[in-house]
Structure 1
Amino acid sequence: MSDLADSEAPLAVTDRPLTQDGPAVRLYLVDGSSFIFRAYHALPPLTRKSDGLPIGAVSGFCNMLFKLLRDMNSDAPTHLAVIFDHSEETFRNKLYDQYKAHRPPPPEDLIPQFAVVREATRAFGVSCIELPGYEADDLIAAYSCKVRDAGGEVVIVSSDKDLMQLVGPNVSMLDTMKNLRIGREQVIEKFGVGPERVVDVQALCGDSVDNVPGAPGIGVKTASALINEYGDLDTLLARAGEIKQDKRRQTLIDFADQIRLSRALVQLDCDTPLPEPIDDLAVREPDKAVLGAFLETYELRSLARRIGEAGASSSGAIPSTPRPAPAEVPESAIDVSGYVCVRDATTLESWVARCYEAGTIAFDTETDALGSATAGLCGVSLAISPGEACYIPVGHCEKEGLQLEEAADLVQIPLDQVIAILKPMLEDPTVLKVAQNAKYDIAVLSRYGIDVAPIEDTMLISYVLEAGMHGHGMDELSALWLGHQPIPFKQVAGSGKGQVSFKHVELGKATEYAAEDADVTLRLYNRLRPRLAREGLLTVYETLERPLPPVLAAMENAGVKVDPIFLRNLSNEFSMRMADFEAKAQALVGHPFNLGSPKQIGDVLFGEMALTGGKKTATGQWATDSDVLESLAAQGHELPRVLLDWRQLSKLKGTYTDNLVAAISPDTGRVHTSYALASTTTGRLSSTDPNLQNIPIRTEEGRKIRKAFIADAGNVLISADYSQIELRLLAHVGDIEQLKRAFREGLDIHAMTASEMFNTPIEGMPSEIRRRAKAINFGIVYGISAFGLANQLSIPQDEAGAYIKTYFERFPGIRAYMDQMRAQVREHAYVTTIFGRKINIPDIRAKAVGHRQFAERAAINAPLQGAAADIIRRAMIRMPEALKRAGLKARMLLQVHDELIFEAPAEEAEATCRLVSKVMEAAPEPAVSLSVPLVVEARAASNWDEAH
């Protein structure tokens, strides 16, 4: 038997019975799901020796519950319950079928532990509550409201933000991980509003974890400002038309119904039926025999000894002063209070020595700016094992008018000394370094002479495993996999006008924030990395993702030169032409109106001019997006074409000609974009701050913007672009013999297609016939409809439909490929590229027909677009070494979809073009041998437009 069975000491937290005439109710409600996930991630997986049943989460849960029972003694609760989620769908899924649709399933080894955790709760003598059709949060809300309204007091043991709407008089929250009591002040600090308005803010913001849609582009800061200004959500939506900011006003108007739906999803239901009456939740002593038998059955003998010792030492009660737990049983998953701030060289050297001993560590950098190319280093954090992490500040200082708490807070090791001590370890191949979004940290540290290697990236591991299922930022991954919400940045640096640079943050707060990032990263790595091999995705990660961050970091640091004078002149030109279009539009209408107002445009087109083909949005306003205007223009109406031309210039001016000048770094004189590796489902990179991937090139104006990208004196820009790569991949993947033969023979693929479809000889083919075939070739892989093709070619819809039918008759292999992809996504909810990348398409399970149809179209194109992205990634990974081996000085600057941009000495332009083309064309090998050749067109010129 266990040690507990031999102990005569009772385990009661309180022996006061609760009667109708007894003391006022003081109810503790424990968020059981939070406890389970924190417990699961606290330790490596544990198994019972006898039969292999996993019990890691059970062990951690029992230790956390024991600690709570012991520590809450001083608070004298009268009632206690652990509340669990039930496995069935809830009423929210009936309101919105996509609610929590993107959440991953529980880990396989956790599923059998759910029932055991409930058994453990009852063994400790604690009520175990759940209710089919309702979430744990709703049960917590119902019990809280009942007790509060009856004059009692409630403590909710959780840090879940969704429960903060319940905080108020006689209702508080307890974050046992931080030993923090959450009241009204803490809620205001997190949401910017009081608990009574938390639901309004959440309705606007949405929730990516639970897939609550909210209002696009509105975050907590904006939402709280709006609610504080207008008082509540209903008033805000009723008066949305008064908001001055165009985009914000239109968002609130267009998405009002979606916002109201979101409010219904986040509002907790205080009228949820109570599965057990409150009186039945009274704190009671566990049955010693039952608890002892449970601990013995599941071989939790260490915990049994601790409970026995605690009871024996307290003469009948669990002591309120915690005893040290055995090292193998942590009392919480993540405790930021134990992190170390390293401020002397001796301590730093000891941490570096421990990094060598650990062999695998996590690290993170803190900086004073978001752009890695110019950010200054504030400090570095290290984690050597879960719960053991430190922060090494190097760049913290006082801000004028802002005094840190103590002068001692500024004691730091000199930067050059920290670099000298860390550099050998961070570059040592025997120590594996783990980071979250490693590209940023690599780019920052490379500017200080540190080339971090070898490196793993938790963001990319998650991306390979579950692209398309959820986001891959650290906070979201921590919530999903660790059940832990990391400290938000605004909690340490403030928000809005009061926000300070991280270099001005007091070192105690900085240490908790920064070291926690490294700690969480290491835990995520331990949790996610083993899945790569189990799920057959290790090769994808090792060949397509892991090697890429250093390459992109070098590109971002290099930047690209733009001509500010040219851009300013172009901006002025666009302004004058916009004025001409505005005058022309107003002349056509007969009175002034705002060309930037969708509402006014709709009123003019479909109200005053009574044009046909209009449709209204969910808010009752006329839709005036580009598709609507293009359709009207195709019918011969002049005003829609003028509006489209005005919009195009407005976008080019605002997004590019003005912003590119502002984006020039004063330190380097160049523009440094940032590449996101995990933002698309297909593996394509995206570019931000500024976005250099969406400059339109099919218009004269767009090409003019590319002229502003220039090379340094004595250099040229080289543009290397894959020719028709997705069509070539379609020919290979779909095994389309006619297309494969045409590509192998170097024929004009669009002319060949036209010849097949329209029985027209290639020799002397009219350009219009070829144009139609080209539109079908490119449109078919995106699932183009007869309506879409008709609009694109300005032909009747039935004629467009006949073209598509003929296309499939001439190329039956394409139809077979499309049917195969539809079948695959219906069965698995994902498709794969020829390199093994898994592209999840969860909308195929959606209830809405439109969502499922969109998912099927995505499934057709995703393997092609994804394979094209994989190929260019492989080329980029090989390129720096290839250039180095060839002795060429060229450097890669930009990646734009199927195109790479280089800067090279003019005298090396020809040799660089040859090498770059060779590397790019051979990129699929040896992993995949394509049945069609890849062709790369590389040209050199003084600016990007001429090189392209």
Structure 2
Amino acid sequence: MSKKPAAAEIPAIIPATIPPVKAAGTTLQGKHVFLVDGSSYIFRAYHALPPLNRKSDGLQVNAVLGFCNMLWKLLRDMPKNDRPTHLAIIFDKSEVTFRNKLYPAYKAHRPPAPDDLIPQFALIREAVKAFDLPCLEQIGFEADDLIATYVRQACERGATATIVSSDKDLMQLVNGCVTMYDTMKDRRLGIAEVIEKFGVPPEKVVEVQALAGDSVDNVPGVPGIGVKTAAQLITEYGDLDTLLARATEIKQPKRREALIENAEKARISRQLVLLDDHVALDVPLDDLAVQEPDARKLIAFLKAMEFTTLTKRVADYSEVNAAEIEPDAKHTSGRSAMVAKASATALTGDLFGSSDSVAKGTPAGTAKATGDTKMKTPAALAAARLETVRALPVRPDAYETIRTLDRLRDWIARIDDNGSFAFEALAPTIDPMQTELSGIALALAPNHACYIPLSHKQSGDSAGLFAAGLAPDQIAIRDALELLKPILESRGHLKIGLNVKFSAVLLAQHGIVMQNHDDIELISYALDAGRGSHDLASLAKRWLGHATVSHGELTGSGRNRLAFDQVAIDRATAYAAEYADMTLRLWQVLKPRLVAERMNTVYETLERPMIATLAQMERRGITIDRQVLSRLSGEFAQSAARLEAEIQQLAGEPINVGSPKQIGEIMFGKMGLPGGSKTKTGAWSTSAQILDELAEQGHDFPRKILDWRQVSKLKSTYTDALPEYVHPQTRRVHTTYALAATTTGRLSSNEPNLQNIPVRNEEGRKIRRAFIAAPGHKLVSADYSQIELRLLAEIADIPVLKQAFRDGLDIHAMTASEMFGVPVQGMPGEIRRRAKAINFGIIYGISAFGLANQLGIPREEAAAYIKKYFERFPGIRAYMDATREFCREHGYVTTLFGRKCHYPDIKSPNPSHRAFNERAAINARLQGSAADIIRRAMARMDDALAARNLSARMLLQVHDELIFEVPDDEVAATLPVVQHVMQDAPFPAVLLSVPLQVDARAADNWDEAH
């Protein structure tokens, strides 16, 4: 049992004259007292559940739900012989305690609470009241001190006590009468478990903590001594005082010097971690007796929170008809959000101190820390957070290299207490399927970061060669991952990273499935797509004003470039630990902006779910037929040779077809073709755009050059290169998807790029034939039909187009009929083709010149078609004008789902730049909405298939198309499920008046399935 700090140990300013509290009241023999550490469980509930927004107003309530589920479990789902007879929820009241006065830096650098959690604090207190449970806190004391006092009284009166928490600071209270219960892991912690964690029995835990310190609470301890070493020392010398008195006897020089120099820090640390179990309690223990909650009041609260499942459980248990109970008006949509926000600032100050005080190191509870309780807007809070974090210094000297399992265990213990941490997996190559794990970087707070080297190579001679063996003093990969796996797979620990998908795929190769993660690259992308890069160096410079160590600076370049695992460990630590540190700081800056700028839903529904979805797809890969590719490579070589000969003949002289300089001189110098422009080097430009324009004007030479370039690219990029991408173990090709590479939300594919295979010509379709199903399976292609045209009809609100889609008409034939007065029945193919070109051309901002060349008609006729199109469908012109003006005013356009696509150059003084941005902005609303829809479908697909016990696996995404591998005998059952998920993907966020159509087919290869 913990002891009250002796009066002599506490400064005079601390009220140390409180008399011991004698056991009051009658015996509690046979009773069971539960004390819930409310503050820590708020965070654990928040991190354990994915974001959950109340449908009526979007208020995030995941922590409230987790907390309510925990309370219900304690009251009703616990075994009958283990249920509480007395129960209280105890919170911190973050006024100044003797610990702050004894050591002002105590808990000074704890990170601020997440912005989407702050409004839930008040609602959690309301939930406790709805359960008719005591909600306790006392000025001047931490929750742990109240818990220590209550359990001491319970044991003195014959009861048993359970502390509902996993906080290591409370483990000093465990004894034959007191146990701890971790509801998140459904695990009891007794004396044996405390010994397993600390290496000493509970009564010696304080002594070990005094030596090891605690970076989370800023308890100093003795530098260089971890938990294991501390336990060995306390076991050998008996207690802290004896150890410090005999420190000169320690044989290890560094340890001896550390103990002698930091003896006073160890004594102060003991006072900081020792719990006061003689608090003068405001609420007596007897008042904590559990009473049957008012079921109707509880149901009214749960219905207001819109917790349907828990409401039903409570109603069924209480035999009450929930339908007859109205939601508590005080907590319904709007009113509840207002109450939560109005209470947020004050409550955050009560529990944790203000965000500014936490970050700046001001003791929580002081006037400077909490200030007044005027409500700040989310934007003001985000700005204040940026200012605070940006002002924090960067101290590379504080970064640590972890070389032993004991030290890694110390870090994991701190992570377990903290609940969130930055994480980065480092590797020598960019292919997560085939690279090795070089090391892992972690960060718990600014400047509190480390690097764990795992497979760095041993340096060789001075010429820079490297021996085959590993560098010394590294933890084995298997041992490190065995320790890290529980927290990496835990839903209760938030992992913060950048490009988390890379780490997820890499760790999956080692049997670890990462869960519960935030990605600052995707947060930045949700906020600022189109306004700059989202890599760490760019973000750190933009938001923190800090220039990071560059990867190139670390590894060098050219022939002497090193792989990351060849970099010296001390230099790797400087890079990797800084990476994790900056990642954490950027998360603290960017995450509040999601709430302030109303982009949280975009991030939570369109970005974060894609990490796990794409990681699985990348690991699955797809099979290719090498023989098909080999034959195609020969065909393309022959086609390229034929085109070269034709180009030479047109040029009238021998030329290198692959030389832009020679091609330019022939076209603009010798042939005198129009539209020539020179680059900065003085050479003629032969870009694809220029060649396209010349080819559309009817010039044969540039058309032949384009044809040659295409067939040569197909050969080099696909038929020759694809076999090189086959994974040696899986025998499949694994592409990598980039989530934050476009302004509109479209995914991009690379290494290899499977999204740029042309499908409108025979050569491209032949390449798709090389993508085949595994034996006993079929490939299923599911493709949205004319999705951008449907979205144009929806967003521009064109009644005739909307009705045509609802009636299932041929939209191109209908458009032709509307424009040219030709009946749909028996319409000539040429008329329909013209309407199709106009339909799709309008979306992409086609000009009269472009349409004329595409259709082979005079420019005046093409201009007349476009004019007539806008006259027949005036809503389209109005949509384009309104979108253009909105983007000029705001700098961005939005998709149907709230994604912002920024085009800051729409006001460029350069006419061509301005025109390009105008066309891109108009198209972005359509393309971006289509991208959002397929993302929503992909995020739901695996669960939908699993719910039907189907084995289909989603392999590829190519813009509006999804590719699956399906067992032969499940094709018929799979097709309707896939179609249903894709067609209903917008719901319930957006209710489209235009139906989506998905065409799905199965075949042995991709081309036949499309």
SS in 1 for 2:893: strand
SS in 2 for 1:471: coil
Q: 1:362 aligns with which of 408, 415, 422?
A: 422
Instruction: Give distance in 2, aligned partners of 1:880 and 1:522.
Output: 31
Q: 2:651 aligns with which of 589, 597, 601?
A: 589
SS in 2 for 1:672: coil
Deviation sequence 1:602-642 (CA, Å, 0-9, x none): 33234333445555556554443344444444454433332
Q: 1:388 aligns with which of 448, 452, 467?
A: 448
Q: Counterpart of 2:282?
A: none
Q: 1:344 aligns with which of 404, 409, 413?
A: 404
Instruction: Give distance in 1, aligned partners of 2:694 and 2:566.
Output: 56
Instruction: Give distance in 2, aligned partners of 1:621 and 1:631.
Output: 19
Q: 1:826 to 1:574 in 2, by over 3 A?
A: same
Q: Counterpart of 1:430?
A: 492
Q: Following TM superposition, by how much is the alpha carbon of 1:832 offset from its aligned partner in structure 2, in angstroms? A: 0.4
Whether 2:744 is the aligned partner of 1:682: answer: yes
Q: Following TM superposition, by how much is the alpha carbon of 1:907 offset from its aligned partner in structure 2, in angstroms? A: 1.5
Q: Counterpart of 1:440?
A: 502
Q: 1:672 to 1:405 in 2, by over 3 A?
A: closer
SS in 1 for 2:720: helix
Q: Counterpart of 1:577?
A: 639
Instruction: Give distance in 2, aligned partners of 1:666 and 1:542.
Output: 36
Q: Counterpart of 1:554?
A: 616
Whether 2:769 is the aligned partner of 1:737: answer: no
Q: Counterpart of 2:1009?
A: 947
Q: Counterpart of 1:398?
A: 458
Instruction: Give distance in 2, aligned partners of 1:300 and 1:649.
Output: 63
Q: Following TM superposition, by how much is the alpha carbon of 1:785 offset from its aligned partner in structure 2, in angstroms? A: 1.1
What letter corresponds to residue 397 of structure 2 in structure 1?
A: S
Q: Is the 8 A contact 2:798 2:876 kept in 1?
A: yes
Q: Which moved more, 1:641-650 or 1:435-444?
A: 641-650
Q: Is the 8 A contact 1:386 1:523 kept in 2?
A: yes
Q: Counterpart of 1:641?
A: 703
Q: Counterpart of 1:791?
A: 853
Q: Which moved more, 1:520-529 or 1:594-603?
A: 594-603
Q: Following TM superposition, by how much is the alpha carbon of 1:457 offset from its aligned partner in structure 2, in angstroms? A: 0.4
SS in 1 for 2:549: coil
Q: Counterpart of 1:412?
A: 474
Q: 1:485 to 1:631 in 2, by over 3 A?
A: closer
Q: Counterpart of 1:376?
A: 436
SS in 2 for 1:719: strand
Q: Is the 8 A contact 1:340 1:390 kept in 2?
A: yes
Q: Is the 8 A contact 2:498 2:520 kept in 1?
A: yes
Instruction: Give distance in 1, aligned partners of 2:478 and 2:620.
Output: 23
SS in 1 for 2:451: strand
Q: Counterpart of 1:568?
A: 630
Q: Counterpart of 2:561?
A: 499
Deviation sequence 1:498-548 (CA, Å, 0-9, x none): 223222332222222211111110000001100100111010001000111
Deviation sequence 1:53-76 (CA, Å, 0-9, x none): xxxxxxxxxxxxxxxxxxxxxxxx
Instruction: Give distance in 2, aligned partners of 1:330 and 1:843.
Output: 28
Instruction: Give distance in 2, aligned partners of 1:610 and 1:404.
Output: 57
Instruction: Give distance in 1, aligned partners of 2:655 and 2:440.
Output: 55
Q: Is the 8 A contact 1:374 1:667 kept in 2?
A: no
Whether 2:540 is the aligned partner of 1:478: answer: yes
Q: Which moved more, 1:546-555 or 1:580-589?
A: 580-589
Q: Is the 8 A contact 2:457 2:467 kept in 1?
A: no
Q: Following TM superposition, by how much is the alpha carbon of 1:601 offset from its aligned partner in structure 2, in angstroms? A: 2.3
Instruction: Give distance in 2, aligned partners of 1:738 and 1:909.
Output: 36
- How does 1:71-470 map onto structure 2 within 5 Å? 333-398=393-458, 410-470=472-532
Q: Counterpart of 1:290?
A: none
Instruction: Give distance in 1, aligned partners of 2:688 and 2:544.
Output: 43
Instruction: Give distance in 2, aligned partners of 1:808 and 1:330.
Output: 51
What letter corresponds to residue 357 of structure 1 in structure 2?
A: D
Whether 2:754 is the aligned partner of 1:692: answer: yes
Instruction: Give distance in 1, aligned partners of 2:455 and 2:390.
Output: 33
Q: 1:330 to 1:555 in 2, by over 3 A?
A: closer
Q: Counterpart of 1:859?
A: 921
SS in 2 for 1:377: coil
Structure 2: 5+ residue runs without aligned partners? 1-108, 114-359, 364-387
What letter corresponds to residue 659 of structure 2 in structure 1?
A: S
SS in 2 for 1:695: coil
Q: Counterpart of 2:38?
A: none
Q: 1:619 to 1:518 in 2, by over 3 A?
A: closer
Larger of the two Rg values belongs to structure: 2
What letter corresponds to residue 999 of structure 2 in structure 1?
A: E
Q: 1:612 to 1:839 in 2, by over 3 A?
A: closer
Deviation sequence 1:206-229 (CA, Å, 0-9, x none): xxxxxxxxxxxxxxxxxxxxxxxx
Deviation sequence 1:474-500 (CA, Å, 0-9, x none): 111111111112212233333322223
SS in 1 for 2:992: coil
Q: Counterpart of 1:123?
A: none
Percent pairwise identity: 55
Return the TM-score normalized by structure 1. 0.64
Instruction: Give distance in 1, aligned partners of 2:948 and 2:519.
Output: 30
Q: Is the 8 A contact 1:714 1:905 kept in 2?
A: yes
Deviation sequence 1:883-920 (CA, Å, 0-9, x none): 11111111111111101111121221222222111111
Q: 1:689 to 1:755 in 2, by over 3 A?
A: same
Q: 2:821 aligns with which of 756, 759, 763?
A: 759
Q: 1:451 to 1:841 in 2, by over 3 A?
A: same
Instruction: Give distance in 2, aligned partners of 1:638 and 1:349.
Output: 70
Whether 2:575 is the aligned partner of 1:513: answer: yes
Q: Is the 8 A contact 2:812 2:836 kept in 1?
A: yes
SS in 1 for 2:458: coil
What letter corresponds to residue 412 of structure 2 in structure 1?
A: V
SS in 2 for 1:398: strand
SS in 1 for 2:812: helix
Q: 1:791 to 1:491 in 2, by over 3 A?
A: same
Q: 1:503 to 1:610 in 2, by over 3 A?
A: closer
Q: 1:774 to 1:528 in 2, by over 3 A?
A: same
Q: 1:920 to 1:329 in 2, by over 3 A?
A: closer
Instruction: Give distance in 1, aligned partners of 2:991 and 2:409.
Output: 50
Q: Following TM superposition, by how much is the alpha carbon of 1:667 offset from its aligned partner in structure 2, in angstroms? A: 3.1
Instruction: Give distance in 1, aligned partners of 2:404 and 2:668.
Output: 72
Deviation sequence 1:40-91 (CA, Å, 0-9, x none): xx99799xxxxxxxxxxxxxxxxxxxxxxxxxxxxxxxxxxxxxxxxxxxxx
Deviation sequence 1:729-760 (CA, Å, 0-9, x none): 01111110011001000000000000000000
Whether 2:945 is the aligned partner of 1:876: answer: no
Q: Counterpart of 2:908?
A: 846
What letter corresponds to residue 944 of structure 1 in structure 2?
A: W
Q: Is the 8 A contact 1:368 1:501 kept in 2?
A: yes
Structure having greater relative contact order (Cα 8 Å, sep ≥ 6): 1
Return the TM-score normalized by structure 2. 0.60
Q: Is the 8 A contact 1:756 1:810 kept in 2?
A: yes
Instruction: Give distance in 2, aligned partners of 1:363 and 1:453.
Output: 12
Q: Counterpart of 1:241?
A: none
Q: 1:670 to 1:580 in 2, by over 3 A?
A: same
Deviation sequence 1:77-121 (CA, Å, 0-9, x none): xxxxxxxxxxxxxxxxxxxxxxxxxxxxxxxxxxxxxxxxxxxxx
Q: Is the 8 A contact 1:404 1:506 kept in 2?
A: no
Q: 1:946 to 1:460 in 2, by over 3 A?
A: same
